[in-house]
Structure 1
Amino acid sequence: MIVPARLVRFLALVFLSSCLMGAAAGADQRDEIAKAVDRAFQPLLKEHDVPGIAVAVTAGGQQHFFNYGVAAKDTKAPVTKDTLFEIGSISKTFTATLASYAQALGKLSLDDHPRKYMPQLSGSAVDEATLLHLGTYTAGGLPLQFPEGITNTAEMTAYFRQWKAGAAPGAQRRYSNPSIGLFGHLTGIAMNGNFARLIETDIFPALGLGSSYIRVPEAAMGNYAWGYNKAGKPIRVSRAVLDAEAYGVKSTAADMIRYVEGNIQPDRLEPAMKQAVEGTHVAYFKVGEMAQGLGWEQYPYPITLERLLAGNSSSMIMEPNAATPLKPPHRPTEPTLFNKTGSTNGFGAYVAFVPAKKIGIVMLANRNFPIPARVTAAHAVLEALSKMP
């Protein structure tokens, strides 16, 4: 059968036209995303004296990067998608992923008690809790930080041995670095390895993160932004007991949006890592309108800004809150927003994503500016993304 030349030309024009229309639509969407991000984040530089911000967005499988300001005031080096930032407590989601991975490999159970891995804690109040309680801040009221003077593993162990619970395990959530820090420490023991090394050799590579670190190597120091404290002085996080487990990760916008995409579509990961990531999406306790999982905090979506701000308020960080166990614990079946804030003395970060919508956002900054401003900006962008075709 001979196809007429006119028909061939017509079909070619139709195909070309559809390609051009698709490209135009893609360009229009990129422009709309850029407007939404600029509108939400550019004002924060001046309002909160933030030297630099990196924002990464994923929508429908497409990544978009937006960079503002400088990584260091003295050199004026611009922020890029490859600039390293301290992500603070967002590190806890990696700690959770390692523990979930260890459980997938049969190395531990979340129902285990600390004494299984640290016999010296046998008979202590903290040993009444399970690994699950430690990983969800529900062990009985461990404080936000260690008391001053805890500088090594021996002192850390002595502290946990003498600590007195203020509530029964599972009764209240009190956000705590020592709690999830011990959770990560015990996970490292269960896996017969050093926690930081396990994160860097087992977790980051399996998630496709090539520029994320606990201890930044010399070769990557040139990409490491300087953070700035309240006085505007350059600062970076210092070593401390269980710092790696609680707030020790340094990463880039490019790596973090890849991490978000791995959480949005874990089917792309190898089986044990897929199971690990899905394990961090299980909700175990209801705390107000927030559901607490391992690392991530969850909310039904769509969500109003007021509700999201309430879940990320200072009272949720600084005070004990009643916790109701979810029976059985479960992964969400309805659209859900996952989020986590992170801060060190010189850096501020925020991550949020909605798997059902295939949208997510990462914000990394080299100043610890107020969490409500971060959440408000990210919420505005997610609202814009959710309305795009």
Structure 2
Amino acid sequence: MRLFELAKPTVGARHTLVLALIAASLPVGAKADETQQRIATVVDEAIKPLMSENDIPGMAVGITIDGRSFVWNYGLADREKAVPVNHSTLFEIGSVSKTFTATLGAYAHAKGKLSFSDKGSAHMSALSGSALDRVNLLDLGTYTAGGLPLQFPDDVADNSDITRFYRGWRPSYEPGTHRVYSNPSIGLFGYLAAESLGEPFPLLMEKNLLPALGLNKTYITVAALEIQDYAFGYNKAGKPVRVTPGALDAQAYGIKTTASDLLRFIEVNIDPSRLEPSLQRAIASTQIGYYRVGDMYQSLGWELYAWPTTLDTVLEGNSSDMALEPQPAVRLNPPQKPGDEILLNKTGSTDGFGAYAAFVPERRIGIVLLANRNFPIPARINAAFTILKAVETIQEH
């Protein structure tokens, strides 16, 4: 059963396509070469000190500007074997995966398979009679269900334990009153979206959504033929690591991808016009605020700010307090954007990897940072903000 129409034009062989897309997207001519060089200088000046200060083995940085894409690779994907980062290197992107999960849920909504106002029990009968029977799908997708924890408890080792966990959960707040950032919250949102579409979540992502978005080097499970491209992450002790399986991990933090593919995802979020209509509507649903939390507007997956904004505002919205502490949330009825121009962003981390993605659709600019070390979020945002503002200046000239 095909649930998605493929993006047009359709795509071919994986490795050759990735390199061809990068080459084809580069600007042509003297002015274009100058633009590329100016951006490269800005990226170098921001990324090289960042890697040194945080002992980051390898990074990939992608920039999109007016539909043109640029990717720069730095350092090593595998220190032990001295394998350099290249255009095929796969990085774990941690919670940036939530933006993909949000897109799948929004697609199910656009196709009429679910409503954001549905209670969870409408798609998972085991939730009937539990506290989650009072929580709707939008609450789950925006972390406003009432206090689901950041992580599953240790005794919830895999998906077989999730029913017991959810049935036993007791809320701390009324749904829709507080934002409590939570893997079990958006994880359940993704799980129920897949239930509404009638296929397992990983299958829907890898066989349907990702190809429909034009992503051909993005995975939940890295196949044996691609494992040589999968970077090692490095933990606090400097040991090589990769993410371990967990309950609803695919939905909350399971994506592995290249800088080129993640940049492609940003580009179709900036301009989804080549996607089929239901996917266009889905992307629109992930770029509007449903709750306001301080200066940040919480959408599905993405977090929104009025543009232009200050570095301090974005740092505050990505602070430890925002991630770890309950925050009063104001429901936006109707949903709305924080301004005529908006910045959308999302951080992501696993034990050995750190990622950041941000873009301004109205300005047609965006950035992705992928690293094989979980380095401090403020350092990521400082670097990305510096680069993005410089790109905007280059664009204006």
Please report the TM-score for the alignment, with normalisation by the length of structure 2: 0.91
Question: 2:155 pairs with 149, 156, 172, which one?
Answer: 149
- Please tell me whether residue 222 in structure 1 is matched to residue 240 in structure 2: no
Give the CA deviation at 1:333: 5.7
Describe the superposition over 1:335-377 as per-residue Cα deviations: whole angstroms up to 9, x where unpaired.
Answer: 1000000000000000000001100000000000000000000
Where does structure 1 differ by over 6 angstroms across 4 or more consecutive aligned residues?
A: none
- Please tell me whether residue 111 in structure 1 is matched to residue 117 in structure 2: yes
Structure 2 CA distance, aligned partners of 1:32 and 1:105? 43
Give the CA deviation at 1:273: 1.2
Give the CA deviation at 1:76: 1.1
- Please tell me whether residue 251 in structure 1 is matched to residue 257 in structure 2: yes
Question: 2:33 pairs with 27, 35, 51, which one?
Answer: 27
* AA matched with 1:203: L
Structure 2 stretches of 5 or more lacking a match? 1-27
Give the CA deviation at 1:266: 1.1
Structure 2 CA distance, aligned partners of 1:281 and 1:141? 24
2:129 corresponds in structure 1 to 123
Name whichever of 144-153 and 297-306 sits farther off. Answer: 144-153
Corresponding pairs, count:
369
Quick check: 2:149–2:181 contact (8 Å CA) kept in 1?
yes
Name whichever of 28-37 and 340-349 sits farther off. Answer: 28-37
* AA matched with 1:307: T
Please report the TM-score for the alignment, with normalisation by the length of structure 1: 0.93
* AA matched with 2:225: A
Structure 1 CA distance, aligned partners of 2:84 and 2:159? 39
Listed as ranges, the matches of 1:1-389 within 5 Å are 23-331=29-337, 334-388=340-394, 389=396
User: Rg bigger for which structure?
Assistant: 1
2:112 aligns to what SS in structure 1?
A: coil
Structure 1 CA distance, aligned partners of 2:132 and 2:378? 33
RMSD across aligned positions (CA): 1.2
1:352 aligns to what SS in structure 2?
A: strand
1:3 corresponds in structure 2 to none
Structure 2 CA distance, aligned partners of 1:50 and 1:297? 26
Structure 2 CA distance, aligned partners of 1:366 and 1:152? 25
Name whichever of 288-297 and 147-156 sits farther off. Answer: 147-156
* AA matched with 1:318: L
Describe the superposition over 1:53-110 as per-residue Cα deviations: whole angstroms up to 9, x where unpaired.
Answer: 0000001111111111000001111111221000000000000000011111111111
> Percent identity at matched positions?
52
Structure 1 CA distance, aligned partners of 2:173 and 2:165? 18
Structure 2 CA distance, aligned partners of 1:232 and 1:341? 22
Give the CA deviation at 1:153: 3.2
Give the CA deviation at 1:268: 2.1
Give the CA deviation at 1:31: 1.3
Quick check: 2:110–2:281 contact (8 Å CA) kept in 1?
yes
Structure 1 CA distance, aligned partners of 2:292 and 2:272? 24
* AA matched with 2:328: A
Quick check: 2:305–2:338 contact (8 Å CA) kept in 1?
no
Structure 2 CA distance, aligned partners of 1:187 and 1:273? 14
Name whichever of 122-131 and 46-55 sits farther off. Answer: 122-131
1:317 aligns to what SS in structure 2?
A: helix
* AA matched with 1:305: L
2:81 aligns to what SS in structure 1?
A: coil
* AA matched with 1:103: H
